[in-house]
């Protein structure tokens, strides 16, 4: 069947099977390989994208269910000229990533959090990121980055 959706502002169409996952459509059909697959049980969150403004796991949603939807992926987070968004910039400034594999999902989840809750507490950040597993950072700098992106004073919450 044919599906059409708006991805990062552009209208995109492609042929899919019923079983084609949204993440496969993004990666294999649209070649948007920034969205990653890290597990098969809907736990790790490397595949988080926004569908109609809400964070979802693209590995646990069929492409056909995104028919007509507005989808945002990590590739659409920076400005058109390549300037990082404040959230992305905070991840770099605070060393919120190491191998980078969980990073797209982490950024998309964090962006969804800040849209819902512009000044989250440390506790709220940690809980919101419950569905995003990072093996490299121990989350320390990710939490710092998200708090920083929300405009909060970082040295006050964590020194190193």
Partner 1 sequence: MPKDHGIGASIKRREDVRFLTGTGNYTDDINIRGQAHVYFLRSDVAHGRLNKVDTTAASAMPGVIRIFTGTDFAGVGGLPCGWQVTDRFGVAMKEPGHPVLAQGKVRHVGDPIAAIVADTLEQARDAAEAIELDIEELPAVVDMKAAIKDGSALVHDEIGSNLCYDWGFVEDNKAAVDEAIKGAAHVTTLELVNNRLIANPMEPRVAVGDYHRATDESTLYTTSQNPHVIRLLMGAFVLGIPEHKLRVVSPDVGGGFGTKIFHYAEEAFCTFAARKLNRPVKWTSSRSEAFMSDAHGRDHVTKIELALDADHNFVAVRTETYANMGAYLSTFAPSVPTWLHGTLMAGNYKTPHIYVNVKAVFTNTVPVDAYRGAGRPEATYQLERVIDKAARELGVDPIALRRQNFVREFPYQTPVAVVYDTGDYDATMDKLIEMADLAGFPARRAASEAKGLLRGLGVNCYIEACGIAPSNLVGQLGARAGLYESATVRVNATGGIVVMTGSHSHGQGHETAFPQVIAEMLGVDESMVEIVHGDTARGPMGMGTYGSRSLAVGGSAMVRATEKVLNKAKKIAAHLMEASDSDIEIKDGRFHVAGTDKSVAWGDITLAAYVPHNYPLEDLEPGLEETAFYDPSNFTYPAGAYACEVELDPDTGRVTIERFAAADDFGNIINPMIVSGQVHGGIAQGIGQALLEGAVYDDNGQLLTGSYMDYAMPRATDLPFYSVDHSCVTPCTHNPLGVKGCGEAGAIGSPPSVINAVLDAMNSGGIKIDHIDMPVSPARVWAAIQTAKA
Partner 2 sequence: MYAFDFVRPTTLADAVAAMAHDEAQALAGGQTLIPSLKARLASPATLVSLTGISEMVGVCRADDGAVCIGGATTHAQVARDAAAHYPALAKLALGIGDPAVRNRGTIGGSVANNDPAACYPSAVLGSGAVIVTNTRRIDADDYFQGMFTTALESGEIITEVRFPVPMQAAYIKFEQPASRFALTGVYVARYADGVRVAVTGAAEQGVFRWFEAEDALSANFNASAIAGMAPDADGMITDLHGTAAYRAHLVGVLTRRAVQAA
3-state secondary structure of 129: helix
Residue selected from 2, 31, 40, 159 as contacting partner 2 according to rule CB under 8 A: 40
CB atoms closer than 10 angstroms to residue 150 = 20
Residues 71-110 contacting partner 2, CB under 8 A = 109
**Pick 24 or 137: Cβ nearer partner 2:** 24
The length of the chain in residues reads 160
**CB 156 to partner 2: min, Å:** 26
Question: Locate tokens 């998309």: which residue?
Answer: 108
Whether 50 and 71 have beta carbons less than 8 Å apart is answered as yes
CA atoms within 13 A on the CB side of 77: 26
**Pick 141 or 150: Cβ nearer partner 1:** 141
Binding site for partner 2 (CB under 8 A): 1, 17-19, 21, 40-43, 45, 48, 51, 54-57, 59-62, 64-65, 67, 109, 112-113, 128, 130-132
């Amino acid at each position: 069947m044919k599906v059409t959706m708006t991805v990062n502002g552009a209208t995109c169409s492609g042929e899919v099977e019923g079983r084609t996952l949204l993440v496969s459509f993004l990666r294999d059909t649209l070649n948007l390989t920034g969205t990653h697959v890290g597990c098969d049980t809907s736990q790790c969150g490397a595949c988080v994208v926004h569908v109609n403004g809400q964070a979802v796991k693209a590995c646990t949603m069929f492409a056909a269910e995104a028919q007509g939807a507005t989808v945002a992926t990590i590739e659409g987070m920076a400005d058109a000229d390549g300037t990082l968004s404040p959230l992305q910039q905070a991840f770099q400034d605070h060393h919120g990533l190491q191998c980078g594999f969980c990073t797209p999902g982490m950024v998309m989840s964090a962006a969804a959090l800040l849209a819902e809750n512009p000044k989250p507490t440390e506790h709220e950040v940690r809980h919101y990121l419950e569905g995003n597993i990072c093996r490299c950072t121990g989350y320390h700098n990710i939490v710092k980055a998200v708090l920083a992106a929300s405009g909060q004073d970082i040295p006050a919450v964590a020194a190193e």
